[in-house]
Amino acid sequence: MSVKVQVVFYSMYGHIYKMAESVAEGARAAGADVDVYRVPELIPDDILEQYGAKQAQSTFSDIPTIQPEQLVEADAIIFGTPTRFGMMCAQMRNFLDQTGSLWMEGKLIGKVGSVFTSTGTQHGGQETTITSFHTTLLHQGMIIVGVPYSEQGLLNMNEITGGSPYGAGTLANADGSRQPSENELTIARHQGEHVASIARRLKGEG
């Protein structure tokens, strides 16, 4: 039986969704069975329309919405969240806050957990978002995996780029006009592949 990886994300304008696709691609390349989910939206439709996010979200509206109890089905879970003032977005926080029963029963203990993110600026909180996210994963007893420096994209000094050993990241620009670069997507693919390979070893398949 192959390793099961879930990619669970929230995306307002599509940047995290594009990163999620690359993360999933990497995990599949490592032989994992991958499911991609989004967490429920909290913002009313009329406000999303006002923000210009409704049209962007329509491009991935076919991605199923996950329920907290579905997390137990995975061997590894890779979470994607945009940054909100240096922390995860409210939609992801709300979803995680519904996993209390899983915590009580220890259902996520020993599963691999990993995080990727996006920010509007170069120093907009990619690392704080990911490391603060790790606190929840540790409370759940998960095994945290990031992106090792074997991924040479982390050493790229020739362009502006997101990504760190904590996890893949993209810079969306303050107005959302910048799309994930090839370097950022490469790091995301490596993260998916690395997480899946670690999960395989833990499951005794590697």
Q: What is the mean pLDDT of residues 66-87?
A: 98
Which CATH number characterizes residue 96's domain?
3.40.50.360
CB atoms within 10 A of CB 175: 9
The tens digit of pLDDT for each residue in 173-201 reads 999 999 999 999 999 999 999 999 999 99
What does pLDDT average to over the chain? 96
For the cut 80, the answer to whether the pLDDT of residue 65 exceeds it is: yes
Which amino acid makes up residue 186?
T
pLDDT at 38: 98
The total of structural domains in the chain comes to 1
Residues 190 and 164: beta-carbon distance below 8 Å: no
**Band of pLDDT at residue 206, cut at 50, 70 and 90:** low
Q: Is the pLDDT of residue 205 over 80?
A: no
Per-residue pLDDT at 1 exceeds 70:
no
Q: What percent of the chain has pLDDT over 90?
A: 96
**Domain residue limits at 51:** 4-202
Q: What mean pLDDT is predicted for residues 162-182? A: 96
